[in-house]
Chains A and B, each alone.
Chain A
Amino acid sequence: MTFTYVDVGIVALYIVLIFYSGTLMNKYIGGIGDYLVADRTMGFHLGLLSMMCTEIGMITYIYYAELGYKAGLSSLVVAFPPMIVYFILGRTGFIIKPLLEMKIMTIPEFFSKRFSKGVRFYVGILMAVGGILNFGVFPGVEAKFINTVTGIPQQHVLLTMVILLTLVLIYTLVGGMVSIILTNYLQYALLSFGMIFITVYGVYVIGWGKIVDSVIAGMGEKGINPFFPSLFKGEFGVGFIIWQLLMWTAILVAWQAISMRLFSSKDSKTGMKIYSWSGLMFLSRAILPIFWGIMAFAYFTEPVDSLEALPLLIKAIIPSGILGLIFAGLLAASMSTYASYLLSWSSIISQDIIGSIIKFITGKEASAKNQLIISRLTVAAVMVFIIWWSLFHKLEGYLYFYLQMTGMLFLPGTLVSIGLGIYWKKSRTAGAYLAFTLGALPPLLYLFISENLKNAWASRIGWGGFLLAFVGMVVGSLVQNMLSPKNVEEAAS
């Protein structure tokens, strides 16, 4: 189907509504607390809704659909680790409960409280680099997606990116977290409708039988059995599952866009409840888009670019009118993800890097007003960088793995340092430095190796990063304890 004037009208109406609500919310923004965590006023359902809006973006659909298109039904296995980890953390409060009770706004704050300000600064830099390299591919990939669905020629991808990001920038700078929470409501209504409609209508048009037959004919046993040829040698075998369980534990603890949602909840009980239920939602968040990729594989008789498979499928099967609504839902998903990621990564830069430098030079914290100005300027700077990165970085291997590896520049060190920092009294500053440094080496290697090696070694590089971070923390802490037995940091605090 083609994008008609009715579809354009629906999308335009949606954008007007979003901006109107954003400007209404501006009056509620007083200080940095309101701007970043909505002054901890979020209840359970709103928290869950907001979490889903942040973590479902157009990019989510694209990388999951790419997995489905390339790896078939087997790739559905990637949906289980996040569900399991969410459920365990939410039920037990492991790591997240102590963090919630500390009432911190960003994860690096934990490091200055538990280790030293130097660790906080170091973590802030790694988080900013990893987070922005991760975020940096969003605009390019999504702009191509938008152009494919709407029929805009691909040579205008830069223009699409600039328009998309300008809309998000205005919307984010106007209202901060309060406006995000309100507009998330409208966005969730649209994106959930879109997800349900594409799945049901896709199965209706293509048929379950044809989907399964196409996967078996095109991919063989590998397309339906994630552990083929064996439990240890399969692309999604034991090594992959271990990596993913560790990775998702780290993401749920330390991914700024997710942990900000956790810190915005009104108490630790609400935060834990949000996590328990998010598990179920995250299962669908992965299963449905992966399934769309599999449907695209069955629908197109000729091979298409794996990142283009989903937009081409949407354009091919969704009727006009509904297409506008679905597109507004996709745009909605992206707007909230961009807004939250911009806020979360810029809060790391403004609070943990620039804030630390200002305090080091002047000897005191920046005023609330100045913090807000710095935060807003950082948002704009991050925006310029991601446009540049989107234009010049060439993606190789699964997009899903690229996104996870950029996050892994800080996630293994963060998980190990937070986990052992909370539960192991002998953990020390040297251990934290070593954990972050060693944990970042394998993913750094991943970014530079060839595409074939990337696919073959991803799982080993993944769990290897966590293992090295753990070794770094234990060795560093033991050595520091041996050389200076008295815990200077504890004495100082």
Chain B
Amino acid sequence: MSAWTIFWGLVVLFSLLSFTYMSVRILIKSIAELKSMFRTLDEKRKAS
């Protein structure tokens, strides 16, 4: 294994782990934001 192959291995591993972590986090936290977005749009719709 050369230095390059070890480096690329670490890059792929880091990308996979960070993507997994970020995806789970985004999916959980977006629910509250979706609710808030529709509340705002609903209020605007009723006001108009």
Residues on A facing B (Cβ under 8 Å): 27-28, 30, 34, 38-39, 41-46, 48-49, 52, 73, 76, 79, 178, 181-182, 185, 188-189, 192, 195-196, 199-200, 208, 212, 216, 224-225, 277, 280-281, 283-284, 287-288, 291
A185–B30 contact, CB under 8 A? Answer: yes
B37–A188 contact, CB under 8 A? Answer: no
Which residues of B have CB within 8 Å of A216? 5
B23–A188 contact, CB under 8 A? Answer: yes
B37–A196 contact, CB under 8 A? Answer: no
| Contacts A/B (CB < 8 Å), 27 sampled | A28-B41, A39-B40, A41-B41, A43-B36, A43-B37, A44-B33, A46-B30, A46-B33, A46-B34, A46-B37, A49-B30, A73-B5, A178-B41, A182-B34, A185-B34, A189-B27, A196-B16, A196-B19, A196-B20, A196-B23, A199-B12, A224-B4, A224-B5, A224-B8, A281-B19, A288-B15, A291-B12
**How does the 8 Å CB contact mask read for B1-27 relative to A, with 1 for contact and 0 for none?**
110110011011001101110110111
Supposing A41-B41, A76-B11, A225-B4 touch, asked if A48 and B26 sit within 8 A by C-beta, the answer is: yes
Q: Cα distance A291–B13 when bound, in Å?
A: 11
Q: Cα distance A284–B30 when bound, in Å?
A: 20
Which residues of A have CB within 8 Å of B37? 38, 41-43, 46, 181
Q: Cα distance A224–B4 when bound, in Å?
A: 6
Q: Cα distance A250–B40 when bound, in Å?
A: 33
Which residues of A have CB within 8 Å of B29? 45
Which residues of B have CB within 8 Å of A38? 37
Which residues of B have CB within 8 Å of A42? 33, 37
Summed over the interface, the residue pairs from A and B with CB atoms below 8 Å come to a total of: 96
The interface size of chain B toward A, counting residues with CB under 8 Å, comes to 30
Q: Give the residue among B11, B22, B30 with the most A Cβ atoms within 10 A.
A: B30
Q: Give the residue among B20, B27, B29, B41 with the most A Cβ atoms within 10 A.
A: B41
Which residues of A have CB within 8 Å of B44? 30, 39
**How does the 8 Å CB contact mask read for B31-43 relative to A, with 1 for contact and 0 for none?**
0011011101100
Which of A73, A178, A181, A288 is within 8 Å of B19, CB to CB? A288
Q: Cα distance A281–B18 when bound, in Å?
A: 8
Supposing A30-B45, A48-B26 touch, asked if A212 and B1 sit within 8 A by C-beta, the answer is: yes
B23–A192 contact, CB under 8 A? Answer: yes
CB distance from A148 to the nearest CB of B (A): 25
Supposing A73-B5, A76-B11, A224-B5 touch, asked if A281 and B22 sit within 8 A by C-beta, the answer is: yes
Which residues of A have CB within 8 Å of B27? 49, 185, 188-189, 192
A284–B16 contact, CB under 8 A? Answer: yes
B26–A49 contact, CB under 8 A? Answer: yes
Which residues of B have CB within 8 Å of A49? 26-27, 30
A73–B33 contact, CB under 8 A? Answer: no
Q: Cα distance A88–B40 when bound, in Å?
A: 32
Given A28-B41, A79-B11, A280-B18, 6 more pairs with CB closer than 8 A:
A28-B45, A42-B33, A43-B33, A79-B15, A224-B2, A283-B15
CB distance from A187 to the nearest CB of B (A): 11
Supposing A39-B41, A49-B30, A185-B30 touch, asked if A283 and B18 sit within 8 A by C-beta, the answer is: yes
Q: Which residue of B lies closest to A290 (CB)?
A: B12
B19–A45 contact, CB under 8 A? Answer: no
Q: Which residue of B lies closest to A46 (CB)?
A: B33
Which residues of B have CB within 8 Å of A34? 41
A208–B8 contact, CB under 8 A? Answer: no
Q: Which residue of A lies closest to B45 (CB)?
A: A28
B16–A199 contact, CB under 8 A? Answer: yes
CB distance from B38 to the nearest CB of A (A): 8
Which residues of B have CB within 8 Å of A44? 33
CB distance from A22 to the nearest CB of B (A): 15
CB distance from A277 to the nearest CB of B (A): 7
Q: Which residue of B lies closest to A50 (CB)?
A: B30
Which residues of A have CB within 8 Å of B36? 43
CB distance from A209 to the nearest CB of B (A): 9
CB distance from A419 to the nearest CB of B (A): 29
